[in-house]
A and B are shown apart, each in its own frame.
Chain A
Protein backbone atom coordinates (compact mmCIF):
# COMPACT_ATOMS: atom_id res chain seq x y z
CA UNK A 1 0.00 0.00 0.00
CA UNK A 2 1.66 3.22 -1.12
CA UNK A 3 1.25 6.74 0.17
CA UNK A 4 -1.72 7.57 -2.00
CA UNK A 5 -3.59 4.48 -0.90
CA UNK A 6 -2.94 5.25 2.73
CA UNK A 7 -4.16 8.79 2.22
CA UNK A 8 -7.20 7.48 0.41
CA UNK A 9 -7.98 5.19 3.30
CA UNK A 10 -7.68 8.04 5.76
CA UNK A 11 -9.84 10.24 3.60
CA UNK A 12 -12.55 7.62 3.40
CA UNK A 13 -12.52 7.01 7.11
CA UNK A 14 -12.05 10.61 8.11
CA UNK A 15 -14.90 12.32 6.39
CA UNK A 16 -17.47 10.24 8.11
CA UNK A 17 -20.59 12.24 8.66
CA UNK A 18 -22.46 11.35 11.85
CA UNK A 19 -25.97 10.16 11.19
CA UNK A 20 -28.52 9.11 13.78
CA UNK A 21 -31.18 6.51 13.40
CA UNK A 22 -34.26 8.68 13.68
CA UNK A 23 -37.90 7.70 14.14
CA UNK A 24 -38.62 8.60 10.54
CA UNK A 25 -36.03 6.07 9.46
CA UNK A 26 -37.69 3.46 11.65
CA UNK A 27 -41.12 4.26 10.24
CA UNK A 28 -39.78 4.09 6.74
CA UNK A 29 -38.21 0.74 7.44
CA UNK A 30 -41.45 -0.60 8.88
CA UNK A 31 -43.33 0.62 5.83
CA UNK A 32 -40.78 -1.03 3.59
CA UNK A 33 -41.09 -4.30 5.47
CA UNK A 34 -44.88 -4.20 5.20
CA UNK A 35 -44.73 -3.43 1.50
CA UNK A 36 -42.29 -6.23 0.88
CA UNK A 37 -44.44 -8.60 2.88
CA UNK A 38 -47.44 -7.67 0.75
CA UNK A 39 -45.44 -8.19 -2.41
CA UNK A 40 -44.30 -11.58 -1.17
CA UNK A 41 -47.84 -12.60 -0.28
CA UNK A 42 -49.13 -11.44 -3.65
CA UNK A 43 -46.36 -13.27 -5.44
CA UNK A 44 -47.05 -16.41 -3.48
CA UNK A 45 -50.78 -16.16 -4.20
CA UNK A 46 -50.12 -15.59 -7.88
CA UNK A 47 -47.81 -18.58 -7.91
CA UNK A 48 -50.43 -20.73 -6.25
CA UNK A 49 -53.09 -19.61 -8.69
CA UNK A 50 -50.80 -20.29 -11.63
CA UNK A 51 -49.88 -23.71 -10.27
CA UNK A 52 -53.52 -24.60 -9.72
CA UNK A 53 -54.46 -23.36 -13.17
CA UNK A 54 -51.66 -25.33 -14.76
CA UNK A 55 -52.64 -28.45 -12.86
CA UNK A 56 -56.29 -28.03 -13.81
CA UNK A 57 -55.43 -27.47 -17.42
CA UNK A 58 -53.23 -30.52 -17.42
CA UNK A 59 -55.92 -32.66 -15.88
CA UNK A 60 -58.46 -31.25 -18.31
CA UNK A 61 -56.36 -32.09 -21.33
CA UNK A 62 -55.14 -35.45 -20.09
CA UNK A 63 -58.16 -37.72 -20.77
CA UNK A 64 -58.93 -36.10 -24.11
CA UNK A 65 -55.51 -36.75 -25.38
CA UNK A 66 -55.78 -40.37 -24.23
CA UNK A 67 -59.05 -40.91 -26.07
CA UNK A 68 -57.73 -39.26 -29.14
CA UNK A 69 -54.96 -41.78 -29.33
CA UNK A 70 -57.26 -44.75 -29.33
CA UNK A 71 -59.24 -45.92 -32.35
CA UNK A 72 -62.69 -44.42 -32.40
CA UNK A 73 -64.55 -47.46 -33.68
CA UNK A 74 -64.58 -50.86 -32.01
CA UNK A 75 -62.72 -53.69 -33.58
CA UNK A 76 -64.71 -55.55 -36.25
CA UNK A 77 -66.15 -58.64 -34.71
CA UNK A 78 -67.40 -61.69 -36.54
CA UNK A 79 -70.67 -61.14 -38.32
CA UNK A 80 -72.46 -63.50 -35.96
CA UNK A 81 -72.53 -61.08 -33.12
CA UNK A 82 -74.66 -58.40 -34.76
CA UNK A 83 -77.13 -60.88 -36.27
CA UNK A 84 -78.60 -61.40 -32.86
CA UNK A 85 -79.98 -64.87 -32.39
CA UNK A 86 -76.68 -66.45 -33.12
CA UNK A 87 -75.05 -64.35 -30.46
CA UNK A 88 -74.75 -67.18 -28.01
CA UNK A 89 -72.59 -69.06 -30.46
CA UNK A 90 -69.42 -68.31 -28.58
CA UNK A 91 -71.06 -69.50 -25.41
CA UNK A 92 -72.84 -72.45 -26.91
CA UNK A 93 -70.04 -73.77 -28.93
CA UNK A 94 -67.89 -74.73 -25.98
CA UNK A 95 -70.86 -76.35 -24.25
CA UNK A 96 -71.28 -78.70 -27.16
CA UNK A 97 -68.06 -80.56 -27.36
CA UNK A 98 -68.50 -83.44 -29.71
CA UNK A 99 -70.30 -83.93 -32.96
CA UNK A 100 -72.36 -86.74 -31.57
CA UNK A 101 -73.90 -84.45 -29.05
CA UNK A 102 -74.95 -82.02 -31.72
CA UNK A 103 -77.58 -84.34 -32.91
CA UNK A 104 -79.14 -84.62 -29.51
CA UNK A 105 -78.98 -80.94 -28.68
CA UNK A 106 -81.13 -79.41 -31.43
CA UNK A 107 -84.31 -81.45 -30.95
CA UNK A 108 -85.32 -79.94 -27.64
CA UNK A 109 -84.67 -76.42 -28.80
CA UNK A 110 -87.15 -75.65 -31.54
CA UNK A 111 -88.62 -76.54 -34.85
CA UNK A 112 -85.31 -76.57 -36.54
CA UNK A 113 -84.98 -80.08 -35.36
CA UNK A 114 -86.35 -81.64 -38.51
CA UNK A 115 -83.95 -79.69 -40.57
CA UNK A 116 -81.22 -80.74 -38.30
CA UNK A 117 -82.06 -84.37 -38.40
CA UNK A 118 -80.82 -84.75 -41.90
CA UNK A 119 -77.52 -83.57 -40.70
CA UNK A 120 -77.85 -86.16 -38.03
CA UNK A 121 -78.52 -88.69 -40.66
CA UNK A 122 -75.25 -87.64 -42.02
CA UNK A 123 -73.86 -89.02 -38.84
CA UNK A 124 -71.39 -90.84 -40.88
CA UNK A 125 -69.90 -87.52 -41.68
CA UNK A 126 -69.96 -86.35 -38.12
CA UNK A 127 -67.09 -88.38 -36.83
CA UNK A 128 -65.06 -87.26 -39.74
CA UNK A 129 -65.39 -83.65 -38.69
CA UNK A 130 -64.38 -83.80 -35.08
CA UNK A 131 -64.58 -80.58 -33.13
CA UNK A 132 -65.47 -77.78 -35.54
CA UNK A 133 -68.69 -79.46 -36.61
CA UNK A 134 -69.83 -79.58 -33.06
CA UNK A 135 -69.46 -75.91 -32.66
CA UNK A 136 -71.19 -75.00 -35.88
CA UNK A 137 -74.13 -77.34 -35.77
CA UNK A 138 -75.13 -76.20 -32.36
CA UNK A 139 -77.23 -73.30 -33.53
CA UNK A 140 -79.31 -73.50 -36.57
CA UNK A 141 -79.60 -76.31 -38.98
CA UNK A 142 -78.19 -78.05 -41.92
CA UNK A 143 -76.79 -74.84 -43.15
CA UNK A 144 -74.54 -74.82 -40.22
CA UNK A 145 -73.38 -78.26 -40.93
CA UNK A 146 -72.56 -77.09 -44.34
CA UNK A 147 -70.56 -74.30 -42.89
CA UNK A 148 -68.90 -76.81 -40.69
CA UNK A 149 -67.75 -78.52 -43.77
CA UNK A 150 -65.98 -75.37 -44.67
CA UNK A 151 -64.81 -75.18 -41.13
CA UNK A 152 -63.11 -78.47 -41.37
CA UNK A 153 -60.69 -76.88 -43.74
CA UNK A 154 -60.54 -73.57 -41.83
CA UNK A 155 -61.91 -73.69 -38.34
CA UNK A 156 -62.47 -70.03 -37.64
CA UNK A 157 -64.65 -69.49 -40.66
CA UNK A 158 -67.04 -72.07 -39.35
CA UNK A 159 -68.57 -69.63 -36.95
CA UNK A 160 -68.71 -66.71 -39.34
CA UNK A 161 -70.56 -68.32 -42.19
CA UNK A 162 -73.67 -69.68 -40.44
CA UNK A 163 -75.75 -66.54 -40.24
CA UNK A 164 -75.45 -65.75 -43.90
CA UNK A 165 -75.98 -69.19 -45.29
CA UNK A 166 -78.87 -70.51 -43.22
CA UNK A 167 -81.34 -68.14 -44.80
CA UNK A 168 -81.00 -69.68 -48.16
CA UNK A 169 -79.47 -73.03 -47.67
CA UNK A 170 -81.31 -74.00 -44.56
CA UNK A 171 -84.63 -74.49 -46.29
CA UNK A 172 -83.84 -77.55 -48.32
CA UNK A 173 -82.30 -80.44 -46.56
CA UNK A 174 -80.81 -81.69 -49.73
CA UNK A 175 -78.35 -78.97 -49.45
CA UNK A 176 -77.45 -80.20 -46.07
CA UNK A 177 -76.86 -83.67 -47.28
CA UNK A 178 -74.73 -82.51 -50.09
CA UNK A 179 -72.94 -80.35 -47.65
CA UNK A 180 -72.38 -83.29 -45.47
CA UNK A 181 -70.82 -85.16 -48.25
CA UNK A 182 -68.66 -82.27 -49.03
CA UNK A 183 -67.77 -82.11 -45.39
CA UNK A 184 -66.68 -85.64 -45.53
CA UNK A 185 -64.62 -84.79 -48.52
CA UNK A 186 -63.19 -81.79 -46.77
CA UNK A 187 -62.36 -83.71 -43.68
CA UNK A 188 -60.80 -86.39 -45.69
CA UNK A 189 -58.79 -83.84 -47.52
Chain B
Protein backbone atom coordinates (compact mmCIF):
# COMPACT_ATOMS: atom_id res chain seq x y z
CA UNK B 1 0.00 0.00 0.00
CA UNK B 2 2.70 2.38 1.09
CA UNK B 3 4.89 1.30 -1.81
CA UNK B 4 2.15 1.93 -4.32
CA UNK B 5 1.48 5.28 -2.81
CA UNK B 6 5.15 6.20 -2.93
CA UNK B 7 5.41 5.02 -6.52
CA UNK B 8 2.49 7.15 -7.68
CA UNK B 9 3.80 10.12 -5.79
CA UNK B 10 7.29 9.79 -7.26
CA UNK B 11 5.83 9.48 -10.70
CA UNK B 12 3.82 12.64 -10.30
CA UNK B 13 6.73 14.61 -8.87
CA UNK B 14 9.12 13.47 -11.59
CA UNK B 15 6.63 14.40 -14.30
CA UNK B 16 5.80 17.81 -12.92
CA UNK B 17 9.12 18.76 -11.37
CA UNK B 18 10.31 21.03 -14.14
CA UNK B 19 7.10 23.00 -14.40
CA UNK B 20 6.75 23.33 -10.65
CA UNK B 21 10.36 24.45 -10.35
CA UNK B 22 9.77 27.16 -12.88
CA UNK B 23 6.62 28.29 -11.15
CA UNK B 24 8.45 28.42 -7.85
CA UNK B 25 11.23 30.48 -9.40
CA UNK B 26 8.81 32.98 -10.80
CA UNK B 27 6.95 33.19 -7.51
CA UNK B 28 10.18 33.90 -5.67
CA UNK B 29 11.43 36.42 -8.17
CA UNK B 30 14.24 34.22 -9.47
CA UNK B 31 15.69 33.04 -6.16
CA UNK B 32 16.67 29.50 -7.04
CA UNK B 33 17.40 28.29 -3.51
CA UNK B 34 14.31 29.74 -2.04
CA UNK B 35 12.31 28.31 -4.91
CA UNK B 36 13.65 24.84 -4.17
CA UNK B 37 12.85 25.23 -0.50
CA UNK B 38 9.32 26.32 -1.25
CA UNK B 39 8.78 23.52 -3.73
CA UNK B 40 10.13 20.97 -1.31
CA UNK B 41 7.87 22.23 1.45
CA UNK B 42 4.89 22.07 -0.86
CA UNK B 43 5.69 18.57 -2.06
CA UNK B 44 6.20 17.33 1.48
CA UNK B 45 2.78 18.66 2.36
CA UNK B 46 1.44 16.99 -0.76
CA UNK B 47 2.78 13.64 0.48
CA UNK B 48 0.60 13.72 3.56
CA UNK B 49 -2.57 14.47 1.60
CA UNK B 50 -1.69 12.33 -1.38
CA UNK B 51 -4.21 9.53 -0.66
CA UNK B 52 -7.00 12.09 -0.59
CA UNK B 53 -6.19 14.14 -3.66
CA UNK B 54 -4.17 11.78 -5.82
CA UNK B 55 -7.17 11.16 -8.03
CA UNK B 56 -8.32 14.77 -8.09
CA UNK B 57 -5.95 17.67 -8.71
CA UNK B 58 -2.59 17.29 -7.00
CA UNK B 59 -1.00 19.94 -9.16
CA UNK B 60 -3.61 22.51 -8.22
CA UNK B 61 -2.93 21.71 -4.59
CA UNK B 62 0.80 22.21 -5.01
CA UNK B 63 0.20 25.44 -6.89
CA UNK B 64 -1.98 26.78 -4.13
CA UNK B 65 0.49 25.79 -1.42
CA UNK B 66 3.36 27.30 -3.37
CA UNK B 67 1.63 30.61 -4.03
CA UNK B 68 0.43 31.03 -0.47
CA UNK B 69 3.76 29.99 1.01
CA UNK B 70 5.58 32.43 -1.25
CA UNK B 71 3.38 35.29 -0.15
CA UNK B 72 3.48 34.26 3.50
CA UNK B 73 7.20 33.63 3.76
CA UNK B 74 7.92 36.88 2.04
CA UNK B 75 5.78 38.67 4.57
CA UNK B 76 7.34 36.84 7.45
CA UNK B 77 10.96 37.26 6.59
CA UNK B 78 13.05 39.69 4.71
CA UNK B 79 14.64 38.01 1.78
CA UNK B 80 17.04 40.72 0.82
CA UNK B 81 14.91 42.33 -1.85
CA UNK B 82 15.92 45.89 -2.32
CA UNK B 83 14.38 48.29 -4.83
CA UNK B 84 16.92 49.85 -7.20
CA UNK B 85 16.74 52.57 -9.75
CA UNK B 86 18.31 50.55 -12.53
CA UNK B 87 17.85 46.86 -13.19
CA UNK B 88 21.10 44.88 -13.14
CA UNK B 89 22.49 42.70 -15.87
CA UNK B 90 21.32 44.54 -18.90
CA UNK B 91 21.89 42.33 -21.94
CA UNK B 92 24.09 43.66 -24.65
CA UNK B 93 22.93 43.49 -28.25
CA UNK B 94 23.99 40.33 -30.04
CA UNK B 95 25.03 38.72 -26.79
CA UNK B 96 24.97 34.90 -26.83
CA UNK B 97 23.46 34.89 -23.42
CA UNK B 98 20.64 37.15 -24.46
CA UNK B 99 17.99 34.62 -23.50
CA UNK B 100 19.49 34.08 -20.10
CA UNK B 101 19.80 37.77 -19.61
CA UNK B 102 16.22 38.27 -20.63
CA UNK B 103 15.12 35.71 -18.09
CA UNK B 104 17.19 37.44 -15.49
CA UNK B 105 15.54 40.72 -16.41
CA UNK B 106 12.11 39.23 -15.98
CA UNK B 107 13.00 37.61 -12.65
CA UNK B 108 14.66 40.76 -11.43
CA UNK B 109 11.61 42.76 -12.38
CA UNK B 110 9.35 40.28 -10.65
CA UNK B 111 11.50 40.51 -7.55
CA UNK B 112 10.67 44.19 -7.34
CA UNK B 113 6.97 43.52 -6.99
CA UNK B 114 5.31 42.86 -3.72
CA UNK B 115 4.82 39.14 -3.03
CA UNK B 116 1.09 39.36 -3.57
CA UNK B 117 1.43 41.29 -6.81
CA UNK B 118 4.05 38.85 -8.00
CA UNK B 119 1.92 35.85 -7.16
CA UNK B 120 -1.12 37.37 -8.85
CA UNK B 121 0.84 38.23 -11.99
CA UNK B 122 2.47 34.81 -12.19
CA UNK B 123 -0.78 32.96 -11.64
CA UNK B 124 -2.57 35.17 -14.13
CA UNK B 125 -0.01 35.26 -16.94
CA UNK B 126 2.04 32.11 -16.46
CA UNK B 127 -0.62 29.74 -15.21
CA UNK B 128 -3.29 31.45 -17.35
CA UNK B 129 -5.79 31.36 -14.53
CA UNK B 130 -8.85 33.58 -14.59
CA UNK B 131 -9.23 36.21 -11.90
CA UNK B 132 -11.63 34.08 -9.92
CA UNK B 133 -9.15 31.21 -9.62
CA UNK B 134 -6.30 33.57 -8.85
CA UNK B 135 -8.37 34.91 -5.99
CA UNK B 136 -9.15 31.41 -4.83
CA UNK B 137 -5.52 30.38 -4.86
CA UNK B 138 -4.42 33.48 -3.00
CA UNK B 139 -7.32 33.31 -0.60
CA UNK B 140 -8.58 36.82 -1.21
CA UNK B 141 -11.57 38.47 -2.90
CA UNK B 142 -11.68 38.61 -6.69
CA UNK B 143 -11.41 42.37 -6.71
CA UNK B 144 -8.30 42.25 -4.59
CA UNK B 145 -6.69 39.66 -6.81
CA UNK B 146 -7.55 41.70 -9.90
CA UNK B 147 -6.11 44.79 -8.29
CA UNK B 148 -2.88 42.98 -7.37
CA UNK B 149 -2.50 41.70 -10.91
CA UNK B 150 -3.22 45.09 -12.47
CA UNK B 151 -0.77 46.93 -10.24
CA UNK B 152 1.84 44.27 -10.80
CA UNK B 153 1.50 44.50 -14.55
CA UNK B 154 1.65 48.27 -14.43
CA UNK B 155 4.86 48.07 -12.46
CA UNK B 156 6.32 45.51 -14.84
CA UNK B 157 5.36 47.73 -17.73
CA UNK B 158 7.63 50.39 -16.32
CA UNK B 159 10.45 48.02 -15.47
CA UNK B 160 10.45 46.08 -18.72
CA UNK B 161 9.75 48.92 -21.08
CA UNK B 162 13.03 48.40 -22.90
CA UNK B 163 12.67 44.63 -23.07
CA UNK B 164 9.13 44.50 -24.39
CA UNK B 165 8.85 47.19 -27.02
CA UNK B 166 5.43 48.76 -27.43
CA UNK B 167 3.55 48.25 -30.66
CA UNK B 168 3.43 51.17 -33.08
A interface residues (Cβ-Cβ under 8 A, vs B): 3-5, 7-9, 11-13, 15-21, 25-26, 28-29, 32-33, 36
Contact = CB atoms under 8 A, between A and B. Distances in A.
A12 B164 contact: no
Nearest to B9: A29
B26 interface: yes
30 contacts: A3-B164, A3-B166, A4-B153, A4-B166, A5-B153, A7-B164, A8-B121, A8-B156, A8-B164, A12-B26, A12-B106, A12-B122, A15-B99, A15-B103, A16-B19, A16-B22, A17-B22, A17-B25, A17-B103, A18-B18, A19-B21, A20-B17, A21-B17, A21-B18, A29-B44, A29-B47, A32-B40, A32-B41, A36-B44, A36-B45
Contacts of A32: 40-41, 43-44
Most buried by A among B25, B26, B44, B47: B44
A3 B153 CA distance: 12
Interface in B27-72: 40-41, 43-45, 47-48
Interface in B93-108: 99, 102-103, 106
A4 to B, nearest CB: 6
Contact of B44 (A8, A15, A21, A33): A33
B98 to A, nearest CB: 11
Q: Is the interface of A mostly helix, strand, loop or mixed?
A: helix
Contacts of B164: 3-4, 7-8, 11
Given A15-B106, A17-B103, A29-B13, A9 B126 contact: yes
Contacts of B18: 16, 18-21
Contacts of B128: 9
Given A8-B160, A11-B102, A32-B41, 19 more contacts: A3-B164, A4-B153, A4-B157, A4-B166, A5-B125, A5-B153, A7-B164, A9-B125, A9-B126, A11-B106, A12-B122, A12-B126, A13-B126, A15-B102, A20-B17, A25-B17, A28-B40, A29-B40, A36-B45
Interface residues of B, number: 34
The 10 closest A-B CB pairs, nearest first, are A15-B103, A21-B17, A12-B126, A32-B44, A7-B164, A21-B14, A19-B21, A3-B167, A19-B18, A9-B125
Contacts of B156: 8
A158 to B, nearest CB: 81
A9 B164 CA distance: 11
A20 B45 CA distance: 21
Contacts of A8: 121, 125, 153, 156, 160, 164
Contacts of A12: 26, 106, 122, 125-126
A20 B21 CA distance: 9
B81 interface: no
A21 B122 CA distance: 23
A183 to B, nearest CB: 92
Contacts of A13: 126
Nearest to A1: B125
A98 B43 CA distance: 95
Contacts of B48: 33, 36
B10 interface: yes
Given A3-B166, A4-B166, A5-B125, A26 B10 contact: yes
